[in-house]
């Protein structure tokens, strides 16, 4: 039997892994971080400490061994020329001193003899630019550090990214891999947010999110936003001139090739000079044209960098010395639950107004129930507030010394629990196992109706031509649509009275709504906006159940038996359809004529060569994926989205990415396209 201490450590490690992966997804894929870098580092260090104490908890898939997050769906991906690592952080002078002393011990030198290069730590989006024979060939986001999203088309629009390297009097390498940061200058950030506010859109929280969001546009490209971005180069991973001996010469090479390099960099001999530069950058940060959140220090000499090498997720020879955020003290006057556009119930602390970092802060997100429980935040508490990245207000800690007997006797002084029912619609709120967020699953919840309508009308769902964001706003604000199914009751006369909606546009939309009623079961399931249900899962559910009615009454256990469906997804689907409001809305949509053809019953067992065989496709295939998938399914096989022990084959095309590594770890047989062709024939 497992010792209790190890059992508790394993439980906490799973919890930390889930939280860290969620925050990686929010930061790298969705460009909307919910916690500060300091809080993220605290979670990561706690997990590292557990894995040090209990080595059996460490695995290749642990967040302590990886960088970033899986590339987001919708992007082509490609491997980096070499891993794009993260940086270890120093949050105070003691940690910076320990880093320099560690370098001294490794290199057998005194800490004041260590030569460092200090550069501003840019708060943007990390990318790799690959040049072949001097020509820009590819631009990749960080992704998971090994595979990135291909954003070459967008990268080419950034004025500071050279289409061709300037020779500068010397030969250019056959291949050059330049690493750097895409940032949005503060002046452009202000202009962009003014335009968004004028258009009625939500402003970006900070320049980092705006830069990342601009870079990762897929369909509707805002060229002005892209041209507002700036790329700053800071390292050369491949293509280093033989003459380069230190980081200063690397930066000089990048500048000579035509890249923008942060001009504030400086050579520092020893800890004292490094601390001096850090202090100067901290004092000057508000006057710089781009946002920075610390100083990056690297060993200057390249041969010393090579001696020290790297860990799984960071180099031993570099560190990011972070700036301290500004803080203030105030009192929690109330805690309220707010419902977001995706149905997430977020606890928000209402504060006695206080000035932090030059602005008045009167409320702060407490993120989720786990965060409230961990910090034990209660009404009446005196708390320390800071602005993460000088933008997002964050509650740091409680001042426990103020919890007097009188304060604890206050009737409001009790543990806060998120409500069991949504404060907007009264529907039962749910929290799925393994997730930290409590949600309202009601399709027609007013707080998320606009978001659900946009999703239902999207191309991958019912594909309602003409139902854009502005029209959705008008329909809901004019109370013409109070629930999803109301869309299919709209008349030309009702629509024609809306702003900028003439008779012809109204007729076109009504016709588009009529066409949208003819759909497929897969698209209908996607349109419902069920948590975790995208194209792959909708296909699995549709093929397994054949029609909607069996799925409506299926238990989580039955859904989980489907290959490729885990317990969290199964619970999400089952709970969605067991909600009375949702099942009523589904019935109403069908009543108004939303319909789909029946799915063909599978052939009798024995007639297909691959019955029950599970495939995963990875990388770029010479044949369209949809065609490959169709051929596998016609032969009786299944195509699932992720590699597991239940997977029979991984079909690897060009640049297969992390799925190939996972398949090898699990002993899953890997096929190339020729081997798949033999199997199919």
| Active-site amino acid positions | 121
Q: Residues 250, 236: contact at Cβ < 8 Å?
A: yes
CB-facing half-sphere around the CA of 33: CA atoms within 13 A: 28
CA dihedral 10, 12, 18, 20 (to 10 degrees): -120
CB-facing half-sphere around the CA of 654: CA atoms within 13 A: 8
Give which of 487, 484, 505 is closest to 496, Cα–Cα. 505
Gap between the Cα atoms of 297 and 315, Å rounded: 11
Gap between the Cα atoms of 184 and 27, Å rounded: 17
Gap between the Cα atoms of 541 and 546, Å rounded: 8
φ/ψ region of 516 (left if φ > 0, alpha if ψ in -120 to 50, else beta) reads alpha
Q: How many residues does the chain have?
A: 681
Cross-strand partners of 392:
388
Gap between the Cα atoms of 447 and 190, Å rounded: 28
Q: Hey, what are 232's tokens? A: 């700053």
Gap between the Cα atoms of 83 and 275, Å rounded: 29
Gap between the Cα atoms of 189 and 201, Å rounded: 14
Q: Hey, what are 488's tokens? A: 């299919």
φ/ψ region of 409 (left if φ > 0, alpha if ψ in -120 to 50, else beta) reads alpha
Write phi, then psi, for 536 (nearest 5 degrees).
-65, -45
Helix or strand holding residue 361 (H, E):
strand 359-365
Gap between the Cα atoms of 537 and 569, Å rounded: 9
């Amino acid at each position: 039997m497992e010792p209790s201490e190890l059992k508790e450590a394993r439980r906490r490690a799973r919890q930390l892994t889930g939280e860290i992966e969620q925050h990686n997804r929010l930061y790298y894929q969705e460009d909307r971080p919910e916690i500060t870098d300091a809080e993220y580092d605290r979670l990561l260090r706690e997990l590292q400490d557990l894995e040090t104490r209990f080595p059996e908890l460490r695995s290749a898939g642990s967040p302590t061994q990886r960088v970033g997050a899986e590339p987001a769906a919708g992007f082509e991906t490609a491997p980096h020329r070499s891993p794009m690592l993260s940086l270890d952080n120093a949050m105070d002078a003691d940690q910076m001193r320990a880093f320099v002393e560690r370098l001294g011990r490794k290199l057998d030198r005194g800490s004041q003899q260590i030569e460092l290069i200090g550069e501003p730590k840019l708060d943007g989006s990390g990318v790799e630019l690959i040049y072949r024979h001097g020509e820009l060939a590819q631009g990749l986001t960080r992704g998971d550090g090994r595979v990135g999203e291909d954003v070459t088309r967008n990268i080419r629009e950034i004025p500071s990214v050279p289409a061709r390297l300037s020779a500068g009097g010397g030969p250019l390498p056959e291949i050059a891999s330049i690493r750097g940061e895409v940032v949005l200058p503060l002046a452009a950030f202000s202009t962009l947010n003014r335009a968004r506010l004028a258009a009625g859109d939500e402003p970006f929280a900070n320049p980092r999110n705006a830069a990342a969001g601009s870079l990762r546009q897929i369909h509707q490209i805002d060229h002005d936003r892209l041209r507002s971005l700036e790329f700053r180069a800071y390292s050369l991973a491949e293509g280093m001139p033989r003459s380069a001996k230190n980081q200063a010469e690397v930066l000089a090479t990048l500048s000579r090739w035509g890249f923008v390099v942060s001009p504030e960099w400086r050579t520092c001999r020893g800890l004292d000079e490094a601390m001096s530069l850090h202090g100067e950058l901290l004092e000057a940060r508000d006057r710089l044209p781009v946002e920075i959140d610390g100083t990056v220090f690297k060993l200057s000499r390249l041969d010393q960098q090579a001696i020290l090498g790297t860990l799984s997720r960071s180099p031993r020879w570099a560190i990011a010395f972070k700036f301290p955020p500004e803080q203030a003290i105030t009192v929690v006057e109330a805690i309220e639950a707010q419902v977001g556009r995706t149905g997430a119930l977020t606890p928000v602390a209402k504060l006695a107004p206080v000035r932090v970092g030059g602005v008045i802060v009167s409320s702060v997100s407490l993120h989720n129930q786990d965060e409230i429980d961990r910090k034990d935040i209660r009404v009446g508490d005196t708390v320390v507030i800071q602005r993460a990245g000088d933008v997002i207000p964050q509650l740091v800690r409680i001042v426990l010394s103020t919890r007097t007997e009188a304060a604890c006797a206050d009737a409001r002084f009790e543990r806060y629990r998120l409500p069991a029912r949504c404060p907007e619609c009264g529907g039962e709120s749910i929290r799925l196992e393994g997730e930290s967020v409590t949600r309202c699953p009601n399709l027609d919840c007013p707080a998320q109706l606009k978001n659900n309508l946009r999703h239902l009308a999207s191309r991958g769902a019912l594909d309602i031509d003409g139902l854009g964001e502005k029209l959705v706003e008008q329909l809901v604000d004019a109370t013409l649509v109070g629930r999803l199914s109301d869309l299919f009751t709209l008349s030309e006369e009702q629509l024609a009275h809306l702003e900028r909606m003439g008779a012809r546009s109204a007729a076109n939309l009504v016709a588009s709504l009529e066409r949208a009623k003819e759909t497929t079961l897969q698209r209908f399931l996607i349109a419902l906006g069920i948590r975790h249900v995208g194209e792959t899962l909708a296909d699995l559910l549709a093929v397994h159940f054949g029609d909607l009615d069996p799925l409506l009454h299926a238990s989580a256990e039955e859904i989980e038996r489907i290959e490729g469906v885990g317990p969290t997804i199964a619970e999400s689907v089952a709970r969605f359809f067991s909600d009375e409001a949702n099942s009523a809305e589904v019935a109403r949509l069908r009543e108004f004529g939303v319909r789909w053809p029946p799915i063909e019953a599978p052939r009798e067992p024995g007639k297909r060569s691959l019955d029950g065989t599970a495939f995963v496709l990875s990388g770029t295939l010479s044949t369209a994926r949809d065609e490959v998938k169709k051929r596998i399914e016609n032969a009786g096989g299944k195509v699932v989205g992720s590699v597991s022990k239940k997977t029979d084959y991984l079909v690897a095309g060009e640049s297969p990415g992390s799925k190939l590594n996972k398949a090898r770890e699990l002993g899953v047989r890997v096929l190339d396209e020729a081997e798949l062709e033999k199997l199919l024939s």
